[in-house]
């Protein structure tokens, strides 16, 4: 295949306004967003999706009880609000339908190459050589990795699990052919997925076993339904809907997101109080004791559920706190010698959250391998750019704001920032752009210092923490994130022009 880079002359590449081609990796929430925004600016893009449909995590996860713990109206694109959500927090299937509809309405489908995973990206000739699992090859000026975080399942190697006679699967690989009614069901894990599964399955099971390694703090939030009158008002009056979105946003950011980065704040103390009050609704003292975490509220990602404590007190429910010793043909044996007989075993054991675009092999300038750069953990300047990987950016990348708020809004701020950098290339200001090593170091230094004031470092082991025990998240206020992503500080970027013999770090 002849590459664009091989046939394009230096004079053509210098020409301002020349066509720019962008590859978007992933057709989930962020990939759909990127495609729409690129098309708005008449920038050609190709989206690569490893599965057969759009939706990302909302396509991958289909387990019973699946829902988003972020208010549905806030968890939408600003340019495509949905007045017809049925309740405060939406079901997973409704969210998937929303993203499918937006992709269809904005004509994203024809831009997507489905069932073809990107396996290699190599920076050469001022752009990216892209190869897929099918052998397809192409060349792009710019790559946007919109691959998300929650799609590589963490599957612990429990001894004997291959000998289990019943059905066993990870929650993200749900087997809908397995009958659940009247069965003995075991769920390993106690995060948000396990809590939702408990609420959905306990009543229909003969016996429901929740295997808990670590107790979780649970914040109760009633999933209030919207009336037909309210939905009609939102359809007829977009301003009223936008006002509701802003209220939901402010309540979450000011009441929670900013609270967890300041442990001593009044807002944090209020969250702590509400979680303790919720735990007090567990009537049995022994069960309540075993459900009580030994770390501070929100040190791990807070579980938000209106009925988890009610469900775990159901007569069918068994909370198992003895460690798992092994899996046997008839069930799970724990360290106390008890065999918990099961028909179905579900691993709600989370995801490998440090993968991002990997296992795609990404080779940057001068042959630098992203796996080597990230040997001690993923890092990116403002969560979007990695030094020595020009014209390569992340949406919801390393150290992005994560937690109990809208990643849709996060991605919207990031794509607008990235588009400004693409525009510089389109106008011929430079041909390469990536964060400087110094900007990366200074950002990480400040981020790690700010982490010392967060709840995430108060003494728990969570997926928020990297190998050094530093939260792999945005440790500043959300308002600062919004401010930082308004426009690039070009002094923080290396830029190369056709006339330059070396990479420049001066302001253009």
CA distance 86 to 307: 18
Where the chain has pLDDT below 50, the residues are 1-11, 13-14, 501-508
- Cα distances (angstroms) measured from residue 345 to each of 188, 359, 435: 8, 28, 46
State yes or no: cis peptide before 481, omega within 30 of 0.
Answer: no
Residue 278 tokens read as: 């919720």
What is the third-level CATH fold of 161-224+231-347? FAD/NAD(P)-binding domain (3.50.50)
- 3-state SS string for 240-303: HHHHHHHHHHHHHHHHHHCCCCCCCCHHHHHHHHHHHHHHCCCCCHHHHHHCCCCCCCCCCCCE
3-state secondary structure at position 502: coil
Neighbours of 355 (CB within 10 A): 17
State the pTM of this model.
0.94
pLDDT score, position 3: 44
Angle between the 29-40 and 92-105 helix axes, to the nearest 10 degrees?
20
For residue 256, the model assigns a pLDDT of 86
The pLDDT of residue 5 is 44
Tokens representing residue 145 in the block: 């990795």
Where do we find the tokens 């794509």? 415
Q: What is the token pair recorded at 476? A: 């500043």
As annotated, the residues of the chain forming the CATH 3.50.50.60 domain(s) are: 4-54+108-152+352-496, 161-224+231-347
CB under 8 Å to 192, separation ≥6 — which residues? Answer: 69, 301, 303, 304, 305
- Give me the pLDDT at residue 15, please: 55
Residue 326: predicted pLDDT: 98
Q: Which CATH architecture has domain 4-54+108-152+352-496?
A: 3-Layer(bba) Sandwich (3.50)
Q: What is the predicted pLDDT for the residue at 12?
A: 53
Q: Please tell me whether residue 448 adopts helix, strand or coil conformation.
A: helix
At 353 the pLDDT is 87
Q: Measure CA 220 to chain center.
A: 22
Tokens standing for 383? Answer: 């969560």
Separation of first and last alpha carbons in the chain: 35
Residue-wise pLDDT tens digits, 205-214: 999 999 999 9
Q: What is the pLDDT of residue 150?
A: 80
Sheet with 317-320, side-by-side order of all strands: 167-170, 344-347, 184-188, 207-211, 317-320
- Rounded to an integer, what distance in angstroms lies between the CA atom of residue 444 and that of residue 333? 44
Closest CA to 322 of 341, 339, 308: 339
- Omega of the bond prior to 359 within 30 degrees of 0, cis? yes
Closest CA to 189 of 59, 345, 347: 347
């Amino acid at each position: 295949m002849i590459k664009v880079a091989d046939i394009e002359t230096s004079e053509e590449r210098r020409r301002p306004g020349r066509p720019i081609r962008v590859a978007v990796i992933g057709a989930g929430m962020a990939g759909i967003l990127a495609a729409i925004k690129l098309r708005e600016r008449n920038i050609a893009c190709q989206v690569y999706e490893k599965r057969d449909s759009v939706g990302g995590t909302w396509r991958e996860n289909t387990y019973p009880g699946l829902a988003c713990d972020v208010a549905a109206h806030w968890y939408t694109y600003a340019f495509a609000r949905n007045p017809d959500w049925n309740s405060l927090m939406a079901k997973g299937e409704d969210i998937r339908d929303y993203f499918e509809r937006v992709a269809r309405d904005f004509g994203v489908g024809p831009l997507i190459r489905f069932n073809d995973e990107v396996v290699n990206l190599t920076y050469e000739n001022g752009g990216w050589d892209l190869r897929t699992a099918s052998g397809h090859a192409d060349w792009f000026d710019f790559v946007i990795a919109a691959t998300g975080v929650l799609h590589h399942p963490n599957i612990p190697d429990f001894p004997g699990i291959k000998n289990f006679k019943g059905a066993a699967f990870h929650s993200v690989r749900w087997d809908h052919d397995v009958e659940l009614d009247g069965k003995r069901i075991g769920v390993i894990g106690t995060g948000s997925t396990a809590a939702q599964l408990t609420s959905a399955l306990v009543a229909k099971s003969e016996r429901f076993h929740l295997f808990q390694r670590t107790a979780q703090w649970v914040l109760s939030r009633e999933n209030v339904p919207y009336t037909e009158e309210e939905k009609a008002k939102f359809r007829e009056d977009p301003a009223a809907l936008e006002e509701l979105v802003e209220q939901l946003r402010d309540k979450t950011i000011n009441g929670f997101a900013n609270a967890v980065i300041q442990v001593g704040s009044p807002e944090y103390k209020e969250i702590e109080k509400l979680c303790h009050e919720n735990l007090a609704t567990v009537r049995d003292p022994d069960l309540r004791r075993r459900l009580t975490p030994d770390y501070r509220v929100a040190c791990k990602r807070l579980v938000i559920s209106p009925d988890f404590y009610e469900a775990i007190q159901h007569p069918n429910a068994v909370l198992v706190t003895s460690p798992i010793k092994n899996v046997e043909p008839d069930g799970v044996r724990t360290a106390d010698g008890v065999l918990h007989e099961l028909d179905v075993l579900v691993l709600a054991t989370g995801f490998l959250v440090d993968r991002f675009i990997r296992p795609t092999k990404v080779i940057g300038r001068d042959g630098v391998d992203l796996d080597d750069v990230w040997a001690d953990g993923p890092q990116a300047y403002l969560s979007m750019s990695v030094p020595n990987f020009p014209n390569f950016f992340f949406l919801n990348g390393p150290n992005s704001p994560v937690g109990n708020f809208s990643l849709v809004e996060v991605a919207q701020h990031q794509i607008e920032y990235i588009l400004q950098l693409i525009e510089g290339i389109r106008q011929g200001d430079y041909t390469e752009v990536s964060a400087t090593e110094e900007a990366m170091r200074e950002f990480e230094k400040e981020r790690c210092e700010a982490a010392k004031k967060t709840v995430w470092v108060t003494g728990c082991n969570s997926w928020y923490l990297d190998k050094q025990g530093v939260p792999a998240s945005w440790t500043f206020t959300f308002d600062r994130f919004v401010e930082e992503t308004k426009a690039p500080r070009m002094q923080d970027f290396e830029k190369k022009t056709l006339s330059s013999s070396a990479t420049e770090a001066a302001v253009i």
